[in-house]
Amino acid sequence: MADVLRVSVRELRVVVERVLIGAGLPRGCVPAAVDLVLYAELLGGDALAFLRAQLPALERADPARVVLLRDGPGTIVLDAAGQPSLLAGPTALDLACAQARAQGAGVAVVLDPLGLPLLRALPTLAARRGLLGFVAIAAGRAPGDGPGHPDSRVVAPCPAADRPDASAVAALAAPGAAGAMLASIGGDTGLADLLSAVARQVAAAGDRSAGASEGHCVLVCVDLGVQTPRPEAPACTAIGPAHAATEPPAGLAGRPHGGLEDGRAVAAADHLLARALRAGIAIPSDLWWSLFERGNETLSPASERSRMDAGPPPGEVD
């Protein structure tokens, strides 16, 4: 068995951020991409291994090639054109969330993204925004496959740790917010119908992605009316203890405040992150240190000149 070590959420963020910066991803795209990798890793591992494997492609990435083909009012279609899902995923999430907030539900199809498995994290990221998210992923054809649809299936309707409680499912099954989404994708009512409708979307997207080698994904976001609390300007009378404003995540039962973690807040639904904060994240040692070294390539080499760029000369002690 490979040697495994536990890293903190903070360490994982730092290393992934450096790796992505070093790979040349536009700086403005990096934080959202880090989140995608983090949550994909928390959902079942392998995201870091995948990231390492995708580094050559990331170095060739061109965000301009990710094109919004259609922006609602029906299904949103984003052509990733073989570009990394780390670029297309956050864009799809933004688009689906915006539509969900406006119409009750949003559906975004991402065609031909490189690195489909990372998109499994999108429902969890939607949950952090107070939305119910589903994702269906259809892998691309293997070389030599004949024509026809790739295998279409809903692989991550909702991560187990973020599965909505009974009331959320009931709300989904009822007419209302979910109904708008079901209507938009031709569904009926109920969770099973919804998933079937999502699967039909996958198949339909498969038609559009006939030439797509990487496959595609469908992201569905539903606004159940549970908005993520927006930060308010603290006023003397409005300001309250963090525990009054932020429900403790179940993974941190009894914790009376939202707290901090390297500048990140724990959303109420974010059980995965809470668990990782408590227990760390298990990563194969060799994988971790290889990414660590890769990230360190963004650090500047040591030199006498460089040493003068910080505090007093090393020999000057207090």
Which CB sits closer to other proteins, 11 or 151? 11
Nearest to 2 by CA among 36, 34, 46, 59: 46
- Residue 129: which of 8, 217, 39 has the closest Cα? 39
Closest distance of CB 293 from other proteins, Å: 10
Q: How far is the CB of 128 from other proteins (least distance, A)?
A: 8
In this complex, which beta carbon is closest to other proteins, that of residue 97 or of residue 224? 97
**Whose Cβ is closer to other proteins: residue 76's or residue 194's?**
76
Total residues in contact with other proteins, by rule CB under 8 A:
84
Q: Is 126 in the site for other proteins (CB under 8 A)?
A: no
Nearest distance from C-beta of residue 232 to other proteins, angstroms: 7
Q: Which is nearer to other proteins, 146 or 315 (CB)?
A: 315
Least separation in angstroms between CB 227 and other proteins: 10
**Closest to 82 (Cα-Cα) out of 212, 202, 208:** 212
Q: In Å, what is the CA distance from 150 to each residue of 92, 109, 128, 142, 202?
A: 21, 15, 31, 9, 10
| 228 binds other proteins per the rule CB under 8 A | yes
Q: In whole angstroms, how close is the CB of 72 to other proteins at the nearest point?
A: 9
Query: Among 29-37, 163-171, 178-186, 212-220, which window interacts with other proteins (CB under 8 A)?
Result: 29-37
Which CB sits closer to other proteins, 206 or 251?
Answer: 251
Q: Helix 271-279 vs helix 30-42: angle between axes, to the nearest 10 degrees?
A: 80
| Interacting span for other proteins (CB under 8 A) from 109-117, 141-149, 170-178, 271-279 | 271-279
By CB under 8 A, the residues from 168 to 207 that bind other proteins are: none
> Which of 160, 241, 250, 282 contacts other proteins by CB under 8 A?
241
Which of residues 40, 87, 205, 220 is near other proteins by CB under 8 A?
A: 87
Alpha-carbon gap, residue 91 to 101, rounded angstroms: 15
Does position 9 interact with other proteins (CB under 8 A)? The reply is: yes
Residue 117 in contact with other proteins, rule: CB under 8 A: no
Note the residue count of the chain. 318
Residues in contact with 2: Cβ distance below 8 Å, sequence separation at least 6, in sequence order: 284, 285, 286
The residue among 122, 65, 58 whose CA lies nearest residue 95 is 122
Q: By CB under 8 A, what part of segment 128-147 binds other proteins?
A: 129
Report the C-alpha gap between 26 and 284 in whole angstroms. 28
**Minimum gap (Å) between residue 148 Cβ and other proteins:** 30
Residues 54-83 that bind other proteins (CB under 8 A): 63, 66, 68, 71, 78
Alpha-carbon span 173 to 156, nearest angstrom = 18
In the complex with other proteins, the residue whose CB is nearer, 88 or 168, is 88
CA distance 208 to 20: 30
Query: Residue 253: CB partners within 8 Å, gap ≥ 6?
Result: none
Say whether 288 sits in a helix, a strand or coil.
helix
118: contact with other proteins by CB under 8 A? no
